[in-house]
Amino acid sequence: MGKRIFSILILTSFLLVSCVDSHRSMKEVVFVMDTIVTLDVRDHANEKLLKKMTDRLMEIDSLMSFSKEESDIYQVNHAKGESVLVDSSTYYVVKKAVEYTQMSGGCFDPSIGRLVALWGIGSDDEHVPSIKEIEEVVETIGLDKISLSEPNSISLMDGTMIDVGAIAKGFAADEMIRIAKEAGVESAIFNLGGNISVLGSKGSDSFRIGIRNPFSESDEYFGIVEVTDTSVVTSGNYERYFIDESGVKYHHILDPFSGYPADNELSGVTVICSSSIKADAFSTALYVMGLEKGLAFIEQMDDMEAIFVTNSRDVYLSTGLQTSFLLCDDSFRIPE
Amino acid sequence: MNMMKRGDYILIIFLLLFAGVLFLHNMNNIQEKGTMVEIRFADEDPIYVSIDQNTTLDLSHGDLVNILCIEDEKVYMLESNCRDQLCVRRGEISLEGESIVCLPHRISIVILGTDKGDIDALSQ
């Protein structure tokens, strides 16, 4: 009997200890991938796990950076048409990018690397290129310029460059979720420069994600989505832009067909999808498509929902969001 | 029925104390910090300043100028010589989770604490 009590007490002690340890939460802020990343792990957190996450972010950055000379992407872009053996993560991201290009009819396209570099939006060299320069560079864009061969080899037509900057953060967010799940984490929220991924929920509540007001200089939001186990990614014309001498605003979401910043009635598009890399690609693609085509496209997708905000503050929601979106700024309206 | 020996009691007490100490240790880790402002420059360790302390902080590094103000529990970037001026235009922040980021100078300011904002994160 004594032995039994003794065993029970020991077991209880250990359960008490392990139970409390599993509730340990930690938050980490890091600068990586040219942005600020917040890792908020709400249970099962420890230094080792957070270190593993930040190491992975650094690794993805050093593999997929457009400008770092040692990156896979830089090597592929400067191989003059030769095939380059890359890391399996880089290969996966480029392969996904190609898949999303096909799905979006080219509205999202990773082969716009030279176009991005030409405009230089967000860099010290941002400027409006000449029409001739743009026409030349648009010629280097297209899926026929990229060839992938298993396992892990990429070659580009000489002159073409790929830029996976638009989806590398999404991939990194998916990786954070994977690492957290593997460590037994049940609740976490990751913010990669405004690209949000959540794991689980906050106890019995969903996570509340604000959708940035595209017309505000500060972090105001016009609506909230309540989500669990998904990713919320927004692309907008307010993120990175410059204004030329004549007062025209040029933003960073480039239309692969025209070579100019996508010019339509939209000021922002948010995509909600359990795959953050996909949400990242399609927030760009839907922005380029514009409202009408974008709405029609999203309605055909089972695994994605979207919020479109127009320049006149009208908010359009895909069918699956009608009940989970909360408008909280009355200067915006949801048209009937 | 075997009675427990004295040694068993000692062991049990020891284990319970051990569990208690670990419990308290972990509780401390769970508890949120008071309302603090976390200031981070690049990959350096962050510094923490209480939000209820009115102060002006010079975060300048070499030629990179950043002046941060904490006033009446509100935080704002008074001055910066960064290219985009987004940090200055960001205006005042006061709620937990709100941040001011000066990407060109690799400075981030985040409010930590218990004053819950209405949202968990901002998609932008």
* More reliable by pLDDT, B46 or B63: B63
Cross-chain residue pair B124–A194, CB shorter than 8 Å: yes
| Partner-chain residue, chosen from A6, A209, A212, that has the shortest CB–CB distance to B4 | A6
pLDDT of the residue at A15? 60
Provide the b/e sequence for A163-191 (b: ≥16 CB within 10 Å): bbbbbbbbbbbbbbbebbeebebebbbbb
Cross-chain residue pair B103–A36, CB shorter than 8 Å: yes
Helix (H, G, I), strand (E, B) or coil at A65: coil
Which CATH architecture fits A72-327?
Roll (3.10)
Q: Phi and psi of A277, rounded to 5°?
A: -65, -40
Cross-chain residue pair B123–A233, CB shorter than 8 Å: yes
Within chain B, where are the H helices?
6-30, 86-89
Residue with tokens 């689980």: A200
CB contact A196 to B (< 8 Å): yes
Q: Which residues in chain B have their CB less than 8 angstroms from residue A5's CB?
A: 4
User: Mind spelling out the 3-state secondary structure of A308-324?
Assistant: EEECCCEEEECHHHCCC
A276-289 and A291-299 helices, crossing angle to 10°:
140
Q: Of A56, A61, A81, which Cα lies nearest the Cα of A72?
A: A61
Q: Which residues in chain B have their CB less than 8 angstroms from residue A202's CB?
A: 120
pLDDT of the residue at A83? 96
Q: Which residues in chain A have their CB less than 8 angstroms from residue B19's CB?
A: 13-14, 16-17
Kindly list the domain boundaries of chain A, sorted by start residue.
72-327
Q: Distance (Å) from the C-alpha of residue B54 to the closest C-alpha of chain A?
A: 22
Q: What is the side-by-side order of every strand in the sheet holding B55-58?
A: B55-58, B66-71, B74-80
ipTM: 0.83
CB contact A276 to B (< 8 Å): no
- Chain B residue at shortest CA distance from A13: B19
Residue with tokens 């693609």: A285
Cross-chain residue pair A209–B1, CB shorter than 8 Å: no
Q: How many Å apart are CA B58 and CA B65, to the nearest integer? A: 8
Q: How many Å apart are CA A22 and CA A185, to the nearest integer? A: 8
Q: Which residues in chain A have their CB less than 8 angstroms from residue B46's CB?
A: 29
Q: Of A109, A332, A322, A335, which Cα lies nearest the Cα of A220?
A: A332
The answer to whether A4 and A12 are in contact (CB under 8 A) is no
Q: Distance (Å) from the C-alpha of residue B50 to the closest C-alpha of chain A?
A: 18
Concatenated DSSP letters for A219-240?
Answer: S-EEEEEEESSEEEEEEETTSS
Concatenated DSSP letters for A291-305?
Answer: HHHHHHHHHT-SSEE
pLDDT of the residue at B30? 45
pLDDT of the residue at B21? 77
Q: What is the pLDDT of residues A134-168, one digit of tens each?
A: 999 999 999 999 999 999 999 999 999 999 988 99
Cross-chain residue pair B2–A1, CB shorter than 8 Å: yes
pLDDT below 50 — which residues of chain A? none
User: At A192, which helix (H) or strand (E)?
Assistant: strand A188-192
The answer to whether B97 and B110 are in contact (CB under 8 A) is yes
pLDDT of the residue at B8? 84
Structure tokens at A221: 């939001």
Q: How many Å apart are CA A296 and CA A18, to the nearest integer? A: 50
Cross-chain residue pair A212–B124, CB shorter than 8 Å: yes
CB contact A207 to B (< 8 Å): yes
Cross-chain residue pair A5–B4, CB shorter than 8 Å: yes
| Partner-chain residue, chosen from A1, A16, A29, that has the shortest CB–CB distance to B40 | A29
CB contact A232 to B (< 8 Å): yes
- Chain B residue at shortest CA distance from A226: B119
Using pLDDT thresholds of 50, 70 and 90, give the confidence band for residue B49: confident
Q: Which residues in chain A have their CB less than 8 angstroms from residue B40's CB?
A: 29, 31
The answer to whether A193 and A35 are in contact (CB under 8 A) is yes
Chain pair A-B, CB pairs under 8 angstroms: 123
On the question of a cis peptide bond just before residue B46, with omega within 30 degrees of 0, the verdict is no
Using pLDDT thresholds of 50, 70 and 90, give the confidence band for residue B72: confident
The answer to whether B111 and B93 are in contact (CB under 8 A) is yes
**CB hemisphere CA count around B115 (13 angstroms):** 16
Q: Which residues in chain B have their CB less than 8 angstroms from residue A327's CB?
A: none
Using pLDDT thresholds of 50, 70 and 90, give the confidence band for residue B13: confident
